[in-house]
Every structure is written in C-alpha cells, then in structure tokens.
Amino acid sequence: MSSKVLFEQEISSYTKKTEAAKTFINIISRLWYEQAIELVLFRNQLIDRQNSHILNLHHEAAVFAENNISIFDSLAVADTLQDLRLPPSRIDVGTLAMEMKNEGIAPTDLHDFLIRKLCKAHQTKEITPRDVILYGFGRIGRLLARELIAKAGSGRQLRLRAIVTRDQVNETTLRKRAALLQHDSIHGDFEGTVEIDITNKALVINGLTVYILSAQAPEEIDYTAYQISNALVIDNTGAFRNAEELSRHLKSKGTANVLLTAPGKAVPNIVYGINQDEIDVSKTAIYSAASCTTNAIAPVLHIIENKLGIIKGHIETIHAYTNDQNLVDNMHKKFRRGRAAALNMVITETGAGSAVAKAIPSLAGKLTSNAIRVPVPNGSLAILHLETRQTTDVETLNKLIKTAALKGDLVEQIKYAVNEELVSSDIVGTSSCSIVDAPATIVSADGHSIVLYVWYDNEYGYAQQVMRLSRHIAGVRRFVYY
C-alpha cells in the first residue's frame, strides 16, 4: 500500500471519528438540557467539550480501561439512551460501553442491555431543587459559581441565587466581580456570559440572575426579600470555623443548611465518598467539607486501610502556594509563610494527617503529616509513606487502586494515572480529588512499606468534592450509574 493511500485512509478514519464526536456532543447537550441527564466518560465531564477533547478522552479511556472503547461505542450507548426517557441522572457512558463489550452485547441487544443496567433509575425519588448562597467569593467560591451555573441545566438540582461579599455593591465592584468570574489565570476563561445588572445589584450569568449582597455579619441578611428560601449557604470565607460561628448563618431568614469549605471544629467533617452516609441530613444543619488535602488522601487511605491495614505512616504534602502567603517578604502570623510565595519552597504545618481520622476513625493516632508550599499557583502532591499489616507488591497495590477507580464507591474521587510523563500542570482541571500516579508507586522488598504519590487540583478537584457534598446535603443527588 502506498504512503499516499495510507494517508488518505487515515484522514478518512479521523474524519469519521470527528463526525461521530459531533453527533455525540449534540446528544450530550440534548439529554442535559431537555432531560437533565448528564453523560460522563469514566467520570470525565463531557458537557460543553470540543471534538478534539472528546476524542482524546476516548484515547485515554482505551488505555485506562484496557479495552478498545471507541467514540462509536459511546455514541451507540448515548443514542440509545435518548429513547429510555430516564429521570434526572448522571450516567457514565464509558462504564456502560466497557460492560457492553465485556459482555459481548450485539447492537441489536443494546436497548435491552441498557434497560437492564439502568433499571433502578426509575426507583429514585423526585428531586426538589434547592437554592444556594455563596458566602464569600474567593478562589473556591468562584469555581463553585462556575460549576453551579454550568450544571444548572433545567434547574432541577442546585440553583445559585446569591453571592455575599463584604465590600459595597456598586457598578465598580460588580464589574470587578464579573471580571474575576469571567477570567481566571489558572483555569482559563469561563465558557459562558457574565453581565452586570446595576439596578438589581446582580450578575447575570448565562442568563441567570445572581444577586450580589453586601454584609459584615452572616445574620444581617434577609434572603427571603430576594425570593430565596430553604437555602444551602456555602461559606468560603474561612472566617467562621466552629459550630457557634457558623450557626450565625442560620439566623438569617431563608437559610436551612451551612457548608464550610475548610476544616471545621465541633461540626461533622465530611469527605464525600467516605463518610457522608454516617450523617443524618434531616437532623444536622452545619457541615464541613474538610480540606483539599484531606479530600485528596482520604480515598486512597480508605482503600489501603481496608485491604492491607495501616500500622502507621507519614503524609508529606507538596502544596501550591495559596492566598494566605505573602507575595513578597513581609510579616505573617505563621512562621515561614511571610517569605515570598512565588520564590521559595516553604515548610509549614498541615493538619491533614490527624484530620483524616475524622473521616476514617481507625486511623486515629497512626499518621503524622507536614507540608511544603512550593512556587506553583495550583496543583499539589501528597506523598503517602505507609507501613501495612499485610504484604503487597507494586503490581498488586496498583491493581487495588485501579479497581477502585473503575468500580465501587470511590470512582468519582479516584483517578488512576498511567502517564509516565505526568507533572503538576497536567492535573489542573481534574474533577477527581485523588489522582494516583501509578508509575511512581514504590513497595519495599519485604512488602510492608509502601509509598504512593497522589496528585490533586487543590482548587478545582476540591470544588468538585464540595459540589458532591452539597448535592448530598441538599437532597438533590440524582440517580448515578458508574
């Protein structure tokens, strides 16, 4: 075969894949906006993605799942899903395509196969949408705003209604807030529209009005004056950390629950995927989503503790610098954090080692931890050095993690990475809170000492965990098939 003929065949093949991706994207949008059914591919988001991104995800999936899953397989699944008239759901077409191929399902049997796999969807309770208030509008607050708006769909889950800041609301501050939401130096531009409404003191985001309110104290605002009721307040300020302080939010008319996006004292610290089912949301009003580091290490530690048993360990976090550090050398209440963040590696403390025991009680007293802030703006790494009761080896240990990333209760939390060239910038924008670097795994000769490298996007990955916990607290968790 001549090189010219081969080249033309390759062009033809890629064109067919691109056309399939276009059709796939149209179906994804139709299912989301008309039926509130969100399709993902091995937990990777597909809404508002381009053809090349869709095809690249399929290439990665073929390696990850060790199964030749193509865009044509996903398209066949998605196309058939349109006819099932499912209730609001989140469905992994990658998992379904993998199971379809593993079971040898013929195209003519795909409809019956999907009915069998998704039979529990119609058993889910009808969802009552909940209002959301973002109290604070910093790094996490703006990412949550983007996600809440992007996932608004037909408005059947969480509805962002208001954002509370401490500064006065006027044309200047509205424009600044709009610009910060629209443009982000790390995560890129918001793929939507952000306009200001001076008359109503609001931002209009993708056509949805979100009031910008000013308050010096949580109890100052009557949210019902803005037709907001039974709302979940997500506190991103970090100013209020205990039950007494956070309960001030509940004194405001129109609020029902409070979620702190930081470790909390005397309130349930929840790592979604680990211990959310241990709380009674009908009796508890205030929660903490713990820290980004705790959310990163808890899923992996949970697997190791359950499968191998942990005797003791040390967690070292290589963490991106944060806004609480100084841009240039200056006074700081913490030791070392006063030195210029973008110029120094800074040793500092982290409570993640002890905090993880709030989610996994059997680890109490077993772990020490420390942190090094490094000159990158986002993307962090936790190094887990653990001594285990049972022996293992690299292949067995990696298989444990990979299995958990493919199927089970932690598929949203854990991503199994096989890229031997992976670096911190590669994981920015990853929705999983734990990205296990499989090629870096180390096991000692005696099989009892293991080292795992767990990457995490300390902004976006954590914001996704906050979103998952928010849906759980608000009682708007849809049917999910992973």
The percent of residues in the chain predicted with pLDDT above 90, rounded, is 85
Range list of β-strands (E), 244-377 = 255-260, 286-288, 310-320, 346-348, 367-374
Q: In what order do the strands lie in the sheet with 194-197?
A: 194-197, 202-205, 208-214, 158-165, 130-135, 231-235, 255-260, 286-288
**Alpha-helix runs per DSSP H in 347-440:** 352-359, 394-406
Whether the Cβ atoms of residue 201 and residue 177 lie closer than 8 Å to each other: no
Catalytic machinery residues: 292
What residues contact residue 211 under an 8 Å CB cut-off, 6+ apart?
161, 162, 163, 200, 201, 202, 226
Predicted pLDDT at 336? 93
Pairing state of beta strands 346-348 and 367-374? Answer: antiparallel
3-state secondary structure of 371: strand
**Section 420-443 average pLDDT:** 97
What is residue 63's predicted lDDT score, i.e. its pLDDT? 77
Q: What is the mean predicted confidence (pLDDT) over 160-185? A: 97
- Cα 150 vs. chain centroid, distance in angstroms? 14
Q: Is 328 helix (H, G, I), strand (E, B) or coil?
A: coil
- DSSP track, 414-432: EEEE--TT--GGGGTT-S-
Position 155 scores a pLDDT of: 58
Within 167-223, residue ranges assigned H as helices are 171-182
Q: Which of 144-158, 228-242, 373-387, 447-461 has the lowest mean pLDDT?
A: 144-158
Return the higher-pLDDT residue of 62 and 194: 194
Give kind and range of the element (H or E) at residue 480.
strand 479-481
Output the pTM of the full model.
0.93
Taking residues 272-289, what's their average pLDDT?
94
pLDDT band at residue 66 under the 50/70/90 scheme = low
Gyration radius of the chain over CA positions: 23
Model confidence at 64, pLDDT cuts 50, 70, 90, reads: confident
**In whole angstroms, what separates CA 372 from the centre of its chain?**
23
* Sequence-distant (≥ 6) Cβ neighbours of residue 467 within 8 angstroms: 144, 147, 148, 151, 158
Q: Place 1 in a pLDDT band, splitting at 50, 70 and 90.
A: low
| Average of per-residue pLDDT across 267-291 | 95
More confident residue, 131 or 10: 131
Model pLDDT for residues 136-159, shown as the tens digit of each residue: 999 999 999 999 998 886 557 999
CATH number belonging to the domain at 290-457, selected among 3.40.50.10310, 1.10.10.10, 3.30.360.10, 3.30.930.10 = 3.30.360.10
pLDDT band (50, 70, 90) for residue 62: confident
**Which tens digit of pLDDT belongs to each residue from 302-330?**
999 999 999 999 999 999 999 989 999 99
Grade residue 6 by pLDDT with cuts at 50, 70 and 90. confident
Tokens of 67: 């199964």
What are the sequence ranges of the domains in the chain? 1-121, 128-266, 290-457
- b/e per residue 436-445 (b: at least 16 CB within 10 A): bbbebbebee
Closest CA to 338 of 316, 369, 346: 346
Closest by alpha carbon to 284, among 269, 304, 295, 298?
269
Query: Tokens for 94?
Result: 């990658």
429-438 pLDDT, tens per residue?
999 999 999 9
**Correct CATH for 128-266 of 2.60.40.1180, 3.40.50.720, 3.40.50.920, 3.30.470.10:** 3.40.50.720
d(C-alpha 435, C-alpha 464), whole Å: 14
Mean pLDDT score, 372-394: 98
**pLDDT score of 3 more than 80:** no
The pLDDT, as a whole number, for residue 418 is 93
What is the β-pairing status of strands 479-481 and 44-45?
unpaired
Question: What is the arithmetic mean of pLDDT over 5-32?
Answer: 90
